Amino acid sequence: MDAIQQAFVIESQELLQQMEDNLLQMEGGGSDPEIVNAIFRAAHTIKGSAGVIECTFVVEFTHVLENVLDKMRDGEIQPVSDLVELLLACADHLRVLVACVESETTPDAEADKASHSLRSKLQEFLGAAPAATSEVASPADGVVQVSGGGEMETDNWHISLRFGKDVLRKGMDPASFIRYLMELGEIVSLTTLPDAIPDAMEMDPESCYMGFEISFQSDADKARIDSVFDFVRDDCIIHIWPPHSKLADFIAAIDHLPEDPMRLGEILVQAGALTRNELELALKSQSVPALPAEAAEGEEAEPVVPLKIGEVLVNQGTVSPEVVEAAATKQSKVAEKKSLESQLIRVQAEKLDQLIDLVGELVIAGASANLLARRSKEGRLVEATSVMSRLVEEIRNSALQLRMVQIGETFQRFQRVVRDTSKELGKEIDLVISGGEAELDKSVVEKIGDPLMHLVRNALDHGIEQPEIRIANGKPGRGTLKLNAYHESSSIVIEIIDDGAGLNRDRIIKKAHEKGLIGDNDTLSDAEAFGLIFEPGFSTAEKVTNISGRGVGLDVVKRNITALRGDVEVESELGKGSIFRIRLPLTLAIIDGFLVGVGKYSYVIPLNTVVECLELTQQQREASTENNYINLRGEVLPFVRLRDQFEIAEPGGKRENIVVVQYAGQKTGLVVDALLGEFQTVIKPLSNIFRHIRGVGGSTILGSGDVALILDVQSLVALASSQQNRKDAAEAAKV
């Protein structure tokens, strides 16, 4: 797929998402005309871009859709629920067509059938029988077509078009705009102007020198005709005159277009835009106020501002002051939008990934340089590498920021899911989004979509009750599903909150006993009991639906989130609702770590989980021989000895330290031999052979070239907590 097609696919996907968001807003009661305009602009841009790459199946389908949206803009068609439903289906079908462009295939028979069906339904709203969109409309009755330069009636549009030299370099084909113009009507006459073509020796084969004078018959308004040239507007000279335009308009064009006035005037006469008498009058007339003349040498030129031109047009009687004021306001908004767009650059994700990889290697190389500098004990070298380390850290942070995106865009996509699913289930559910400005790595966003989809659909199906049941229980008939996100340390927390029936703890425990997941004497906390729903094949649903209830999905959610070094927990109150809370790292590439040593081995603890470090005294070591916990300022702190956890055979030293870590509100101690300080860590994933090892989340390369394991604090905290709970339960049983 070439660059233009790729740009079309990316832009169309973004526009279709905007179209869907606006349609959902319209369905929710949005009557702002700007919503309709935004939907129209999205469809029109997709059609225009498809015309540029000559993708006829997208152009043909979007043509009818655009007609319906145009009548909605004019108030001739009202956005009733059936129409909004149809427009959403059209947006879905356009996604299918765009996917065909992406895969460089043509729509299959099923897609063609869907296109025809949707176009027929759109035509019903237009109040006309379906027409073959591949045929160009013929001129209206009474218009006389002329060939050979004779005169004709002047009820045609006239378009004066001069393409800029850089049009071809920007991937635009001038002929495609002419073909696209024919979608709106018929070109009655077209004159090609080669005047700008230089001598052969001076010609640049990548430059465009073409100009056209076009007599055009169409029922479209000026805005629609003008929008044909949206993609080349900044690089071209474009004048569009409606039928029976004022003579002053043509005089201004003759004065300012690059061709010889007499030659250009003859072309206008041949096209039927002017009579010969009008041409002679135009060339002699001095009555029309001219635009500011070029400044003499040494003088400052008077700026040509829109307001100045507007005053000229008002004085001519061409437009009213109100029109000029409205145009100036709109122009300022357009300028503001262009200013914002000029600050943004679209970069391929692969290039960002490559940059992150190089920064990771730079971090490793910097650590090696620091190590060598310290060993050399050369003061100036140590100072130089210290400065380099600071700069590498700034580069790392800046590079990671390039891949950070707001999660709000992901949240917004669930508007459609909630709408369609609630209708299918016969429920009334509102989606409330908050914290959409929270940012995380793009790679994390891409991988969290499916787990979020499972949790949202599960909440819609099992969580929120039917309206009649809610009303009987004293709740509003409409349920509420909330998506919330916020930062917590160096993690992001995503919450899926519903005000539904909540989880039935007793039913979960009973089901777990039946499946043999727990014993008869096991005592579980609420968190452990609710965590059982993530076991494979576990479901308490009374019936299976098209959405959920088969006992698959939540175990996949847990597995996918764990693979992202994240965690999911559940809070629920029967009859009140549930909260599914996901914690994820902000990035999967580079983290700040705390380096520790156990024997001859090194381990890295994510720095954001470290609370404090303290020495394990001889008295504490003796007291914790059987019980793996200590008294930390009146608080019970369970701990895990990394020497025992990773079965390190060599004996320990005389001193031991505890690194206190915290995850999801729980504190745990990690007993190590040595504290080696902070360390920038480039995460290297482990092979699948080691994926079942508990407590390890990845690996990294130290400055010395040795490999250090990155600890998975989440699983170590869970391990310490479960060990402590089992001991507490055993002691309680003895009593």
DSSP string, 427-485: --EEEEEE-TT-EEEHHHHHHHHHHHHHHHHHIIIIISPPHHHHHHTTS-SSEEEEEEE
Q: Are residues 638 and 624 in the same domain?
A: yes
Q: What is the mean pLDDT of residues 422-430?
A: 90
What would the pLDDT profile of 308-317 be if each residue is shown by its tens digit? 445 555 555 5
pLDDT at 246 over 70: no
Q: Are residues 177 and 114 in the same domain?
A: no
The confidence score (pLDDT) of residue 478 equals 92
DSSP-assigned states of every residue in 512-536: HHHTTSS-TT----HHHHHHGGGST
In a domain, 364, yes or no: yes
pLDDT at 305 over 50: no
Model confidence, pTM: 0.60
Its sign, for the CA torsion 460, 465, 471, 475, is: negative
Q: How far is CA 77 from the centre of its chain?
A: 31
Q: What angle do CA 530, 536, 537 make, to 5 degrees?
A: 95
- Residue 134, both tokens: 């591949």
CATH number, domain with residue 66: 1.20.120.160
The confidence score (pLDDT) of residue 295 equals 44
Share of the chain above pLDDT 90, in %: 11
Q: Are residues 391 and 471 in the same domain?
A: no
Q: Are residues 106 and 179 in the same domain?
A: no
The confidence score (pLDDT) of residue 500 equals 92
Give 242's contacts (C-beta < 8 A, 6+ positions apart). Answer: 157, 222
The confidence score (pLDDT) of residue 128 equals 46
CATH number, domain with residue 686: 2.30.30.40
The confidence score (pLDDT) of residue 578 equals 93
Assess contact for 274 and 250: CB atoms under 8 A. yes
- Residue 500, both tokens: 């539904």
Print burial letters for 303-313: b (CB count within 10 Å at least 16), e (below 16): eeeeeebbebb
CATH number, domain with residue 565: 3.30.565.10
In a domain, 321, yes or no: no
Residue that finishes a domain, picked among 265, 288, 311: 288
Q: What is the mean pLDDT of residues 625-629?
A: 74
In a domain, 566, yes or no: yes
Q: Are residues 419 and 371 in the same domain?
A: no
For the chain, what is the domain count? 5
In a domain, 421, yes or no: yes
DSSP state of 733: H
Q: Are residues 699 and 656 in the same domain?
A: yes
Assess contact for 681 and 490: CB atoms under 8 A. no
Q: In what order do the strands lie in the sheet with 666-672?
A: 610-616, 656-663, 666-672, 635-641, 629-632
Q: What is the mean pLDDT of residues 658-687?
A: 82
DSSP-assigned states of every residue in 362-400: HHHHHHHHHHHHHHHT-HHHHHHHHHHHHHHHHHHHHHH
Closest by CA position to 360, among listed 702, 603, 590 = 590
Cα 58 from Cα 48, distance rounded (Å): 10
Is 266 strand, coil or helix? helix
What would the pLDDT profile of 21-53 be if each residue is shown by its tens digit? 889 888 877 667 888 888 888 888 888 788 777
In a domain, 658, yes or no: yes
Closest by CA position to 596, among listed 606, 588, 584 = 606
Is 275 strand, coil or helix? coil
- Residue 163, both tokens: 């393409």
CATH number, domain with residue 380: 1.10.287
Q: What is the mean pLDDT of residues 373-389?
A: 88
Print burial letters for 413-433: b (CB count within 10 Å at least 16), e (below 16): ebbbbbbebbeebebebebeb
Closest by CA position to 429, among listed 526, 560, 531, 547 = 547
Q: How far apart are the first and last CA of the chain?
A: 73
Q: Are residues 427 and 542 in the same domain?
A: yes
Cα 264 from Cα 355, distance rounded (Å): 54
Q: Are residues 522 and 413 in the same domain?
A: yes
Share of the chain above pLDDT 70, in %: 76
pLDDT at 426 over 80: yes
Assess contact for 145 and 200: CB atoms under 8 A. no
Give 526's contacts (C-beta < 8 A, 6+ positions apart). Answer: 505, 571, 572
Assess contact for 275 and 151: CB atoms under 8 A. yes
Q: Are residues 454 and 384 in the same domain?
A: no
Q: Are residues 728 and 604 in the same domain?
A: yes
Q: What rounded mean pLDDT belongs to the chain?
A: 77
Q: Domain limits at 594?
A: 590-734
Tokens 């003579």 belong to: 247
Q: What angle do CA 219, 225, 228 make, to 5 degrees?
A: 140
Assess contact for 596 and 672: CB atoms under 8 A. yes
Assess contact for 568 and 553: CB atoms under 8 A. no
